[in-house]
Amino acid sequence: MEKKHSKISIIGAGMVGAAVAFSIATQRLASEIAIIDVNTDKAEGEALDISHGLVTMGSMDIHSGSYAEDVADSDLIIVTAGLGRKPGETRLDLAAKNIGIARDVCANIMKYYKDGVIMVVANPVDILTYVIQKESGLPMGRVFGTGAVLDSARFRYLLSTKIGGDIRNVHGFMAGEHGETQFAVWSSVHVSGMRFDSYLSKRGIEVDKDALVQEVVTSGAKVIKKKGVTNYAIAAVVAELANTVLKDKKSIFSVTSYLNDYYGIKDVSISVPAFVGAEGVSQHLLYDFTDEEMAKLQYSAKQLRSFIDNLKI
């Protein structure tokens, strides 16, 4: 049975945080949305702007908030606070700058935390998810990040454009780092249940798989170069994950979370298929990766682990 009252706190009222709040509100996913930011005027402005459209959405309590007043009774805490990626920067370039912000956010959350799930959106999401999971001291999986869910959405979009089909019929996912070492899990790709290669063969379609994956990897940088930020697609992804948490759906997503022993991968947060629900990530799915895919996952994890070691986290 769903709770009668559900609450989401969003840490950060920047372009991403505001888009996340709007996406959640338009879908009426929570009874209450609190927007928390050091710039209280910005948080209040975003809350008011969204609230002025409630006539089209229905009754919700959308307001600016604070850690002390809103964290304790939140079902979901979404962390978007952090500096954005500049043109030419990789997600990992952001780490040194955003780790300090993540630690401060985590410390403030834990002063008042009682229950609920923490979803990390800020980049580099794999590193920050690792930091917050470790420093919060919460049970493993209670903290997870959006990870490769956005990459998977981009992947499916690009696949649908290449084959000229309905994106809802195209399935598949990305895994690994939310960044340069991510990879396509081609063994998962199918079109309405038909294996992707078979579908292409029967329809006489050719797809350059390597070029398509590279397009996925560079999608974020392309958007940032053209408009300065990526915020709408990630907001849509966060709303879907929020709905999954609040309704305890235990849906499978390629999110980033702490791995203790996933095919031998330990002490790193990286995206693999996982069951997402009211407790966050409750279990990782031991997906049947091909040998090539497993090698790519191991490489991605090794690169992230090396980066964590260099930062001395």
Task: In whole angstroms, give the CA distance from residue 255 to residue 93.
Answer: 21
Task: In whole angstroms, give the CA distance from residue 181 to residue 155.
Answer: 15
Catalytic hit among 5, 52, 178, 190: 178
Whether 52 is catalytic is: no
Task: In whole angstroms, give the CA distance from residue 126 to residue 223.
Answer: 20
Structural contact between residues 111 and 125, judged by C-beta atoms closer than 8 angstroms: no
Task: In whole angstroms, give the CA distance from residue 276 to residue 215.
Answer: 27
Structural contact between residues 245 and 144, judged by C-beta atoms closer than 8 angstroms: no
Task: In whole angstroms, give the CA distance from residue 107 to residue 103.
Answer: 6
Structural contact between residues 29 and 239, judged by C-beta atoms closer than 8 angstroms: yes
259 is written with which tokens? 């791995």
> Which residue from 45, 35, 39 is spatially nearest to 79, judged by alpha carbons?
35
Task: In whole angstroms, give the CA distance from residue 69 to residue 155.
Answer: 39
Task: In whole angstroms, give the CA distance from residue 61 to residue 33.
Answer: 6
Task: In whole angstroms, give the CA distance from residue 65 to residue 40.
Answer: 8
Structural contact between residues 273 and 156, judged by C-beta atoms closer than 8 angstroms: no
- Provide the annotated active-site residues: 178
